Amino acid sequence: MSERFDWPVLMQAGMRGLGLRPADFWALTPAELAFLLGQGSGRMPMDRTGLEELAARFPDRMEDDDGS
C-alpha cells in the first residue's frame, strides 16, 4: 500500500505552524516532521550520539572498581 503525502498541508504546518525555514523543513525526515507535529509516542529512537551520551553519563564499572 502506497501512502501519499499532502505536501501543501505539511509545508503549511511545518513552515507556518512550526516556523521552520524551507531548508530546515526539507531536511527533515517524515518521522521527524510527525514528531514535531505531536504525532507518535513522543520518543524518537536512540541514535549513536544518544547512546554515547548515555554511556558517558552511566559508565559500566565492575563492583570492585574504585572509580579511578
Is the whole-model pTM more than 0.85? Answer: no
Predicted pLDDT at 9:
92
User: Which pLDDT does position 8 carry in this prediction?
Assistant: 93
Q: What is the pLDDT along the chain (68 residues), one digit of tens a residue?
A: 446 888 999 999 999 999 999 999 999 988 888 888 888 666 667 788 888 988 898 888 766 656 55
In sequence order, what DSSP letters do the residues of the chain get, joined into one string? ------HHHHHIIIIIIS---HHHHHHS-HHHHHHHTT-SSS-PPP-HHHHHHHHHHS----TT----
pLDDT attached to residue 35:
82
